[in-house]
Structure formats: C-alpha cells, structure tokens
Structure 1
Amino acid sequence: MSNLQQQRNDITHIDGNLHQNEAARIGIVVGRFNGFVVESLVDGAIDALLRHGVLGSNITVIRVPGAFELPLVAQRAAESDRFDAIIALGAIIRGSTPHFDFVASESAKGLSSVAIDYNIPVANGVITTDSIEQAIERSGTKAGNKGSEAAMVVLEMLAVLSQLDIDDDYDNDNDA
C-alpha cells in the first residue's frame, strides 16, 4: 500500500446518523403567520421525529405570532436547558414591499445566533417563497416537506455533535 493510500485510510470521518433518538428532547418553535402552510411543516417535522424514534413526550411545540418572533423564543427555549435541539418553522411569502427581505434576513440571523450562542442545533425550517404556490409546494407537495427536512437536520446534528464529544475524550486520552 502506498503512503498516500495509507494516509487516506487514516482519515477520521464523522457522519451523523438518524438512530438512537429516543431520549432527544426537541423544541419546535412555530410562527403562526401563513398558518395554512406552516401547519403542514409542523406535521412533517413531528412525523419525521416520531418515525426516527423521538418519543412524543420529548417533543414540545411552541407557537409565536410569526417568523420575526422565532429567534427570541428559540433563544429562551435554548436558555431553559429543556431541549437538545430546536426546529424553527414558519413561512414568509414575498409581497409587494421590502418587508419580506427584512423579516427573512432577521429571522435567519437570529436563529443562527441562537445555535452558536447556546451550542445547540437549531434547524431553520422557515420557508421563504415568492408565491403562495411555491409555499404550498415546499410544505408537502412537489418540493417535499421542509418541516420534515428540518427535523432530519436536528437529528443528524445531534449525532454529529455527540460523536465530536466522544472524539474529544478520545483525543485527550491519546495526548498523553
């Protein structure tokens, strides 16, 4: 075996999996605005979590007025230490004013900040579309269900972070 091949074989790979989720405590923060679309996202997220072993008693759905309010409640949920991961769900549909851009940008920035500040997976399942038709497509028809996808993201991130915690212990043992 060549040195290059040996080096390739020595590379550590960390991949998330979707198993052993029974104990995962998941908060789902939901913006009620555009509820006709958002409720399909919630159903998709809950279905995905249950199908991958998360216990119903470990899922909490928290409703807020809209997407702009999601980061504050996600932050409070993260501060509470009641959740291992948070899924944020909402729908922002472009109108004729720049309001769409402000809400979408601030919601995304705020959710990202919560993940970094509290060291907790936060999946941004807020769909942003140009039309109602696009929103319907992304909430369970032609383009899949973005709520389900957000649920899968937090499960995979929990697995990746768990492995990094284990690998940190491994690295410390090997430093001696």
Structure 2
Amino acid sequence: MKKFIIIFASVVTVLFAAFAVYYFYFLPPNKTLNKIPLPPGSLSDSIVVFKSERKLLLYYRSKPLKTYSISLGDSPLGHKEKEGDEKTPEGLYSISGRNPNSKYHLSLRISYPSEHDKLNAGKNGYSPGGDIMIHGLPNTTGFLKDYYVNNDWTDGCIAVTNEEIEEIWGAVKDGTPIFINK
C-alpha cells in the first residue's frame, strides 16, 4: 500500500508540474487588446509602433483607430543594424508591398532598409538585412497559437494574430507611413 501511495503521489506531482508548465509557458493571458473590429471601409493613414510596449496603433487623421498587441524578434531591444540580429528597425518607414501568400497568413512589407540603414551597415561591413514585415502567425501554428501570441518569436518582424493582420491588411494601403519607436 505504501508503494502505491508513493507512485500515485509521484504521478500526480508530475502531471501537476506538466500542467503548470503548459499553462504558464504556453497559455499566458491573451494579449489581444481590442476585440471590437474596425468598421467596414476603415482606412488608416499612418501606423505607429511602440516596441517597448508591444503595441501597434492604426491612425486616421491623427486619431487612433485601433491598438493591437504585437510580438517582435527574439532580440527586441535596439535598432536593427545587420542581417540576422533579430531586431526590429526603429524610425520612419512605409508599407512598401504585400504578400497574400505569406508563410505567416498575410504580410505587409516595411520599407527597411532605408538608404541610411544601408550606409550604416556598409560602414561596419554588414548587410542590413531586409524582409521586415507586419504579418500574422505561422501557417503551421496549430496548438502553439497562444505561445506565438504571447511571446517574441519573429526574426525582426512585427507579428499580430491572423484575424488582426486581415483587419490591418484591409485598412492600410501601400505607401502608408509607419513610425517604429523604441
């Protein structure tokens, strides 16, 4: 009987620990801020990102339309300087294209690198990198969706949920300025 109690207690402890790891690591509270959709036909004339707050705001005529929680690269602090540093650039850019067949649901290209970024990287002997996007979650997310929503995981891009990128995609035109703050 004593052996049974020890085995039972061990199994319960392992199951509890596994549940705790899953709950606290993979399922932290969902960061989605504003679940009220934009009204149909809404247009944004600028985008502002606050990296330190993990927020993306759509604006129209200097008034905020909606705020989204974002995920960034694995090294979110500081300005992107070179290819592979997993940082998100800081400064004024624009939406320079879109990919409806993205590996991340939909993606909006950010005009990084600027001429200034290229010069700075070149002075240091680096490639500045590129392919910086606002995009959704990986097409193969599966049961890891909450992990992606609640953690920094990109290679320097700005990620939102698939529902949110669909909304942003519809509200933002190519050429829209995006200001990315620290």
Q: After TM superposition, is the score higher than 0.5?
A: no
**Larger fraction in helix:** 1
Larger Rg computed on CA atoms: 2
- What is the TM-score normalised by the length of structure 2? 0.28
